[in-house]
Amino acid sequence: MNFITLLGRQPELSLAELEQRFGSSNVESFGRVAALVSAAEFDIQTLGGTVKAGRVIAELEKADWPRLSRDIVGRYARELKGDGKVTVGISVYGRDVAPRDVQRTGIALKQALKKQGRSMRLIPNEASALSTATSHHNKLGLSQNKIELLVFYGPGSVIVAESTGTQNITALAARDQGRPKRDAFVGMLPPKLALMMINLSGITNQNHTHDANDSTILDPFCGTGVVLQEAALLGFNVYGSDLSEKMVDYTQQNLQWLGAKHAIGDVRVELGDAIEHGWNLPISAVVAETYLGQPFSAPPAPDKLDKVRRIVDHITSKFLENLAQQLPSGTPLCLAVPAWRDSRGSFTHLTTIKKIESLGYEWQPLKTANTHNLIYYREDQVVARQLLLLTKK
Ligand SMILES: C[S@@+](CC[C@H](N)C(=O)[O-])C[C@H]1O[C@@H](n2cnc3c(N)ncnc32)[C@H](O)[C@@H]1O
CATH code where residue 289 lies: 3.40.50.150
191 in the same domain as 207 = yes
Residue whose CA is closest, atom 2 of ligand 1?
Answer: 186
CA distance to 26, 160, 204, 216, 267, per residue, from 213 (Å): 25, 36, 12, 8, 12
Domain end call among 166, 198, 217: 166
Centroid of ligand 1 to alpha carbon of 247 (angstroms) = 8
Give the residue from 218, 133, 235, 228 showing the smallest Cα distance to 179.
228
Residue whose CA is closest, atom 4 of ligand 1?
Answer: 223
Q: What are phi and psi of 231, to 5 degrees?
A: -65, -40
Predicted confidence at residue 319, as pLDDT, reads 98
Predicted confidence at residue 209, as pLDDT, reads 63
192 in the same domain as 161 = no
How much is the pTM? 0.96
pLDDT tens track of the chain, all 393 residues?
799 999 999 999 999 999 999 999 999 999 999 999 999 999 999 999 999 999 999 999 999 999 999 999 998 888 887 788 999 999 999 999 999 999 999 999 999 999 999 999 999 999 999 999 999 999 999 998 999 999 999 999 999 999 999 999 999 999 998 899 988 777 689 999 999 999 999 999 987 766 777 899 999 999 999 999 999 999 999 999 999 999 999 999 999 999 999 999 999 999 999 999 999 999 999 999 999 999 999 999 999 999 999 999 999 999 999 999 999 999 999 999 999 999 899 999 999 999 999 999 999 999 999 999 999 999 889 999 999 999 999
Centroid of ligand 1 to alpha carbon of 312 (angstroms) = 12
- H or E element: which one contains 48? none
Predicted confidence at residue 189, as pLDDT, reads 92
Is ligand 1 within 6 A of the CB of residue 223?
yes
Q: Which residues pair with 143 in a beta bridge?
A: 146
Residue whose CA is closest, atom 12 of ligand 1?
Answer: 221
Sign of CA dihedral 296, 301, 306, 307: negative
Give the residue from 318, 328, 322 showing the smallest Cα distance to 393.
328
Give the residue from 267, 263, 272 showing the smallest Cα distance to 239.
267
Best residue for ligand 1 mutational test, from 242, 289, 313, 387 (most atoms within 8 Å of Cβ): 242
Domain at 37, CATH number: 3.30.2130
Best residue for ligand 1 mutational test, from 219, 244, 289, 291 (most atoms within 8 Å of Cβ): 291
Give the residue from 291, 285, 297 showing the smallest Cα distance to 309.
291
Q: What is the dihedral of CA 190, 191, 196, 201, to 10 degrees?
A: 100
Instruction: Measure the CA angle with vertex 122, ends 118 and 123; round to 5°.
Output: 150
Give the residue from 259, 200, 201 showing the smallest Cα distance to 225.
259
233 in the same domain as 95 = no
From the CA atom positions of the chain, what is the Rg in Å? 23
Is ligand 1 within 6 A of the CB of residue 242?
yes
Predicted confidence at residue 186, as pLDDT, reads 75
Instruction: Decide the pairing of beta strands 375-376 and 383-392.
Output: antiparallel
223 in the same domain as 206 = yes
Burial of 350 by CB count in 10 Å (0-12 exposed, 13-18 middle, 19+ buried)?
A: buried
Residue whose CA is closest, atom 17 of ligand 1?
Answer: 243
137 in the same domain as 61 = yes
256 in the same domain as 205 = yes
Domain end call among 105, 135, 166: 166
Instruction: Give residue 23's domain range.
Output: 2-42+50-166
197 in the same domain as 236 = yes
CA 37 from chain centre, in angstroms, equals: 15
Is ligand 1 within 6 A of the CB of residue 250?
no
240 in the same domain as 373 = yes
Predicted confidence at residue 187, as pLDDT, reads 67
188 in the same domain as 58 = no
Best residue for ligand 1 mutational test, from 175, 176, 186 (most atoms within 8 Å of Cβ): 186
How many CA atoms lie within 13 Å of 186's alpha carbon, on the beta-carbon side?
23
Centroid of ligand 1 to alpha carbon of 220 (angstroms) = 8
Predicted confidence at residue 210, as pLDDT, reads 67
User: Which ranges of 124-244 does DSSP label H, i.e. alpha helix?
Assistant: 132-137, 169-177, 191-201, 226-233
Centroid of ligand 1 to alpha carbon of 190 (angstroms) = 15
121 in the same domain as 94 = yes
Residue whose CA is closest, atom 27 of ligand 1?
Answer: 223
CA 336 from chain centre, in angstroms, equals: 14
